Amino acid sequence: MQGGQVEIGEFLLSAHANESPLFGVDSIPFLATRFETAARLWQAARPAVADVLAKQGLTLLHAVPWPPQGIFSRRPITSLADLRGARLRVYSPGTARFAALAGAQAVNIQAAELAQALATGTVDANLTSGATGFDARIWEVVPYFYDVRAWLPLNVTVVRSRALEGLDAQTQAAVRAAAETAETRGWQVAEERNNFFTAELVRNGMQVQAPDAAFAAELEQIGATLADEWRDAAGAAGARILATFRSDASACADSSCN
């Protein structure tokens, strides 16, 4: 590229929620639980997130979701009562807060150490995606996966603004166009791969279940509490994001949009 090498990085957005509450927008439990609703939430939040990144000298290029977060467990879970006192692996401020509200003990374990931690009883359950479970061959150490679809975490890709602005206008436009294409394709592939991961868990003998109505209601109550906490922490920008998202969701309930 003209203008020198562009410095690009990728990171899990919610892992940096301590820097700004807005970075935790993707991990508000049970707010956006499907790919289409998570995409609408991201579009509502994108301008505010991009603004925070810009103040750090970074330009947002694109965001791509992980599959929905579920609960892998060494033992059956049919209600929140089954999570109370359980050692739950967490990986972000949002997951730690979820553990606290569920009455579980938060344990910080890296993904690479997850299978061993579950096998040895260091953790009893893990809130993560089917992708992580597949990569860790988690069926070798736990029998249950509860497809609670808590949220869809986002990986965001950024570039140092000075580096991008140092490129000629044509190259800058090409970078932005490529980022837009990557985001569109990334969301499509993520959904396709999620179906694959779930099928592989079943094929390898895991019991994959959705929560029943009573358990889902308990989880949604936690989600409502965390959405309120996030809105308060994120201030006016957070309130606008939730209002826009909920307005779009209400409109879609009366139409054919996804």
pLDDT at residue 104, rounded to an integer: 96
Q: Is the pLDDT of residue 4 over 50?
A: no
Reported as a pLDDT band with limits 50, 70 and 90, residue 258 is very low
The residue-averaged pLDDT of 88-114 equals: 88
The predicted model gives 185-213 an average pLDDT of 96
Write out pLDDT tens, residues 200-252.
999 999 999 999 999 999 999 999 999 999 999 999 999 999 999 999 766 56
Q: For position 1, what pLDDT does the model report?
A: 32
Return the percentage of the chain with pLDDT > 70, whole number: 94
* Of the candidates 210, 189, 244, 241, the residue with the CA atom closest to the CA atom of residue 65: 189
| Confidence band for 5, pLDDT divided at 50, 70 and 90 | low
Burial of residue 76 (number of CB atoms within 10 Å: 0-12, 13-18, 19+): exposed
Greater pLDDT, 21 or 115: 21
* pLDDT one-digit tens code per residue, 69-86: 999 999 999 999 999 999
Helix (H, G, I), strand (E, B) or coil at 134: helix
- Over residues 41-49, mean pLDDT: 98
Distance CA 258, CA 45 (A): 18
Query: pTM value?
Result: 0.88
Which has the minimum average pLDDT: 45-49, 198-202, 252-256?
252-256
CA–CA separation, 246 vs 252, rounded Å?
Answer: 10
User: Is the pLDDT score of 257 beyond 60?
Assistant: no
The pLDDT of residue 195 is above 70: yes
Of 22, 11, 17, 27, nearest in space to 64 by CA: 11
Q: What pLDDT, on a 0 to 100 scale, did the predictor assign at position 94?
A: 79
Structural domains of the chain, with CATH: 8-183+191-253 (3.40.190.170)
Exposed, middle or buried, 115 (CB in 10 Å: 0-12/13-18/19+)? buried
